[in-house]
Chain A
Amino acid sequence: MKQNPFRQLILGIYGLIILLPLSLVLLTTFKTTPELYSNPIGLPAGWNIENYKQLLVNEPIFGYIKNSVIVTVFSTFFILWFSSMIAYAIIQLPQKLGWIVYGFFVCGMIVPTQVNMIPVFLLMNKLGLVNTLTGVIIVSISFLLPIGVFIITGFMKTLPRELFEAARMDGASEWKIYSKIALRLSIPSMATVGIFSFVIVWNDLLFPLLLLKSKEVKTLPIALLDFQGEFLTNYPMLFSAVVLSSIPLLIAYVFLQKHFISGMTSGALK
């Protein structure tokens, strides 16, 4: 295809609209606050990493990263496991019963998480799960299960039934059929749900904001929110925290780009 200059221009401009704010953030982290005010959008005078050093010394940033990793990894794992089991049960149950179960889970997709935040907070409070990572993991699983069930069931329904029947004839247990056949063949949809869940839980603000109060258990997004109050006009410091907290997902994105993108795609079209 011939390169149309108009097309290149549009794409280039939008590319800059995406890239410039992000690069400004990165450049700002190498500036001092007075330097930022005298030179807000230029290159920094030198590549000094004083802001990062101070941040690492003064703030338990690795603790926040650790909390975010724990919450995200456990939530994603259980979302994948539970929703694939539910999906398997739905396609194996008698038709009408399967539909009822499917409907019960999938109707949760319409309910905004904010609707539940008050009752969930009260429930967690009663169970003593406020200020624990477990609490956030449980809520994250519960609000992402509907979409997980929706996507994985949609995919499993397209698998040939004969495969399951044949395995059953050979005397395989339901668990074997699920884990050796259904799960393996559903890897594309599992990848979709895994990436979806990972990104959403990693970035989630609402439930950590409600449930995590003390510094030891905070995840990155709420820690960042605290920094904003703490560093008020100290953009260089705030952005150093932003850069550090974004790096893990960005690195994952660079290496797993195709999975991220194709994952979101098939998930959206199913």
Chain B
Amino acid sequence: MSLKTNTSIQEEEKRTPSFSFPLFSFKSISKSRHLWLFLLPGFVIYTVFFALPTLSALFLSTTDWNGLSSQFSFVGFQNFKEILTNDAIFTQSLTNNLKFTIGVLIFQTLLSLGFALLLYKNSAWNTFYRSLFFVPTIISSVSIAFTWNFMYDPNIGGVNLFLSKIGLEHWTQSWIGNGHIAIYSLAFVQFWAHTGQMLIIFVAGIQAIPSELYEAASIDGATRWQKFKRITWPLLAPATTMVVAYTTIQSFKAFDLIIAMTNGGPSNSTEILSTLLYHEAFINFRFGYASAISVVFMIVIALLTFLQFRVLRLTKM
């Protein structure tokens, strides 16, 4: 946030003390009257179709409504109690979510940083590679899902055919049909689809570092590793924070990919919170219960985001 503008407002307010209220001056009130018109359309749409629905999810979560009947009763925290103590599928979905997110987070962050270090200079080839790696970002998740359903096909899929060709037949298997590994196969697809995007964020971060710093370090005889550790990594902290936060939230919410690839199966082994709450609401018609899941889901995401910013801020120091 730009501090400059804030202080200039304060100065302005100090200069006209005769009309000033504790919060703002007369001049700014009359000015803000027009400004409300600028806020109006966005405010209405955002409030009616986003903010209020979020609040009513909280309300629905305390009911046993099935989405169809006009009658429902309040059950208090019953739904939450059931979710947290007596719902094996919820626990499994949360676990799947964590496996998926952690897998994607580690590989996506490390590889996109690695590629960014290789590709940060603006040569023709580097630009070509960056554009190529970026391509999956703009293809719809549904198309990507079908592409990889085909690649993972046990009989005619590219992955198994490739493994057999290089003599690793014993590695071939049903990548998304096998409940033990399906969630990781999906995590790989998520990683495949978004690494190029994160790479670009890192490239911009590296390019923003003043080259004088590296020149000075070279004069002092610093090795490449020292330069990375002392210059690149600390100065890249904002980009890293961005990549980590973005990757976590993106992969925690992955919905399209899973719906289109496995729809949560086989036997819930790829069900994550977002797909679980969709299934509970629109397949099982447990709107109240699904809303409670969505509230838990929101809390988990908020906690994760908060934790990340804390941790990353600490490492930056």
Closest chain A residue, CB of each to CB of B207: A265
Q: Mark B233-272, 1 if CB is under 8 A from A, else 0.
A: 0000011001100100100110110011000000000000
- Enumerate chain A residues within 8 angstroms of B2, measured Cβ to Cβ: 157-158
- Enumerate chain B residues within 8 angstroms of A2, measured Cβ to Cβ: none
- Enumerate chain A residues within 8 angstroms of B283, measured Cβ to Cβ: none
Q: Mark A233-269, 1 if CB is under 8 A from B, else 0.
A: 0010011001001100110010001001100111011
Most buried by A among B2, B140, B155, B297: B140
- State whether B38 touches A96 (Cβ < 8 A): no
- State whether A221 touches B140 (Cβ < 8 A): yes
CA distance A11 to B192 in the complex (A): 14
- State whether B201 touches A265 (Cβ < 8 A): yes
- State whether A265 touches B203 (Cβ < 8 A): yes
- State whether A264 touches B197 (Cβ < 8 A): yes
**Nearest-Cβ distance from residue B213 to partner chain A, whole angstroms:** 18
- State whether B134 touches A260 (Cβ < 8 A): yes
- The reply to whether the CB of A37 lies closer than 8 angstroms to some CB of chain B is yes
Interface size class of B (residues with CB under 8 A): 35 or more
- State whether B290 touches A118 (Cβ < 8 A): yes
Q: Is the interface of A mostly helix, strand, loop or mixed?
A: helix
- State whether A15 touches B158 (Cβ < 8 A): no
- Enumerate chain B residues within 8 angstroms of A81, measured Cβ to Cβ: 41
- The reply to whether the CB of A43 lies closer than 8 angstroms to some CB of chain B is no
- The reply to whether the CB of B181 lies closer than 8 angstroms to some CB of chain A is no
Closest chain A residue, CB of each to CB of B128: A15
**Nearest-Cβ distance from residue A18 to partner chain B, whole angstroms:** 6
- The reply to whether the CB of A88 lies closer than 8 angstroms to some CB of chain B is yes
Closest chain A residue, CB of each to CB of B1: A157
- State whether B242 touches A268 (Cβ < 8 A): yes
- State whether B282 touches A116 (Cβ < 8 A): no
CA distance A204 to B142 in the complex (A): 9
Q: Mark A207-245, 1 if CB is under 8 A from B, else 0.
A: 001100000000011001100100000010011001001
Closest chain A residue, CB of each to CB of B203: A265
Q: Mark A169-194, 1 if CB is under 8 A from B, else 0.
A: 00001110010000000000000000
- State whether A14 touches B133 (Cβ < 8 A): yes
- The reply to whether the CB of B131 lies closer than 8 angstroms to some CB of chain A is yes
- State whether B158 touches A205 (Cβ < 8 A): no
- Enumerate chain A residues within 8 angstroms of B25, measured Cβ to Cβ: 94
- 5 closest residue pairs by CB, A with B: A94-B24, A82-B42, A119-B53, A203-B140, A40-B156
Give B contacts to A, CB under 8 Å.
1-2, 5-6, 8-10, 23-25, 28, 31-32, 34-36, 38-39, 41-43, 45-46, 48-54, 56-57, 60, 67, 115, 118-119, 121, 123, 129-143, 146-148, 150-151, 155-158, 161, 192, 196-197, 200-201, 203-205, 208, 238-239, 242-243, 246, 249, 252-253, 255-256, 259-260, 273-274, 277-278, 281-282, 287, 290-291, 294-295, 297-298, 301-302, 305
